[in-house]
Amino acid sequence: MNGGSSSDPAPDVLLEQRGSVAWITLNRPERRNAYDAAMGEQVISAVRESVDAAMIVITGTGKGFCAGGYLANLADANDREVRAMFDASFRLFDEIRRSPRPVVAAVNGGAFGGGNELVVACDFAIAVRSAQFGQTGPRVGSAPILGGTNMLAMNVGEKRAKEISMLCRRYTAEQALELGWINEVVDDDGLEAAVERWGDELLALSPRYLEIAKISSNVWWNQMRDSYLSGLGMLGQAVGSSDMVEGAQAFMEKRRPEFRPTATGAGAGS
C-alpha cells in the first residue's frame, strides 16, 4: 500500500506505524475518499496487517473522512463491480469488528453513506467540529443495510436510526455526540492530539482484557449478521435497477433524482 517511485500514482490506502499505533488513511481526496471494491480490499488488508499494533486508527485525507461507496459504478450499472463493492464493505466492517485491537475512527470530515457505516463499525469515533454525518441510501438509490438500518440503532435508538437511514438528513458532529453516535468532538486542528490521548489511555490497559471486552461487546453486531446478509442479497437483486442508476446518476450530476413509482411491495424499480 505504501512505497513505489515518485512517478507512481498515490496509493488509495496508506498504512503507517506510529509507535504501537497503526494509522490507516483513505487516500482518494478528490472523491472524498469514496471507495470501490479494490480500495475496500486494501483497507481490509491494512486492518489485517495491523494485528500486532496495540490500536488501529482509520482516517481520511482532504476534507472528507469517507463518502461511502463510489457511486460512479452504480450510475454505470456495473453489476460485477457493484456487487464486489457491497461484498467488500461487509467484509471490511466485519474485519474491524473481528480485529482483537481497538479501532478508532478519526473523522476528519464528512462521513456519509458507507462512510458513516464505517464509523458505526469502529469501536470509538472522534470527530472534528466541522465533520458531518448521515446516510444517503434512499436518496441515491440504495439502502444502508450494513449498519445504518440495524447497528446504528444500538447507538442512537430505533426511531432516530430510521430517521437517519430513511430521510438522509445531515447531522453535525455536536448532534452526533449528543445522540451517542460518536465519542468526542474536537477542534479541527486537534484531531491527532485527541487520538493520541485516547491511545495513551488505551495502551495503559491490559491488551488481553481489552480484547475480551471488545469481542464480547460484539454480541449485537454478531446477532445482526443475518440482517446484513439478507440485506446484501436484496441489494444484489436491485443492482442495475432504474432507482439505483437514476439515484447515482443524479448524485454525480448534482441534480434531484426522478424516481419512478413502483408497485406496493415491489421494492426498487427494474
Total domains present in the chain: 1
Q: pLDDT tens, 126-146?
A: 999 999 999 999 999 899 999
Cell of 209: 482484557
Decide if 18 is inside a domain.
yes
CA angle, 83 then 84 then 88, to 5°:
120
- The pTM of the full predicted model, rounded to 2 decimals, is 0.91
Q: How confident is the model at residue 268 (pLDDT cuts 50, 70, 90)?
A: very low
Q: Please tell me the predicted confidence (pLDDT) of residue 270.
A: 40
Decide if 78 is inside a domain.
yes
Alpha carbon of residue 12 to chain centroid: 15
Over residues 220-242, the mean pLDDT reads 91
Decide if 153 is inside a domain.
yes
Whether 168 contacts 251, CB under 8 Å: no
Decide if 43 is inside a domain.
yes
Whether 104 contacts 55, CB under 8 Å: yes
Decide if 256 is inside a domain.
no
Q: Please tell me the predicted confidence (pLDDT) of residue 4.
A: 45
How many CA within 13 A on the CB side of residue 247? 23
- Reference 165, options 188, 189, 147, 191; nearest CA is 147
Task: Report the distance separating Cα 5 and Cα 183, nearest Å.
Answer: 39
Q: How confident is the model at residue 77 (pLDDT cuts 50, 70, 90)?
A: low
Least confident of 55-59, 178-182, 240-244: 240-244
Task: Report the distance separating Cα 172 and Cα 177, nearest Å.
Answer: 9
Please list the residues that pair with 58 across neighbouring strands.
Answer: 24, 105
Decide if 135 is inside a domain.
yes
Mean pLDDT score of the chain: 91
Q: pLDDT tens, 82-95?
A: 899 999 999 999 99
More confidently predicted of 235 and 131? 131
Phi, psi for 205 (deg, rounded to 5):
-100, 170
Percent of the chain beyond pLDDT 70?
91
Q: State which residues form the domain around 171.
A: 13-190+206-222
Decide if 235 is inside a domain.
no
Over residues 193-212, the mean pLDDT reads 97
How many CA within 13 A on the CB side of residue 57? 26
Task: Report the distance separating Cα 21 and Cα 203, nearest Å.
Answer: 9
Over residues 186-195, the mean pLDDT reads 98
- CATH code of the domain covering residue 149: 3.90.226.10
Decide if 210 is inside a domain.
yes
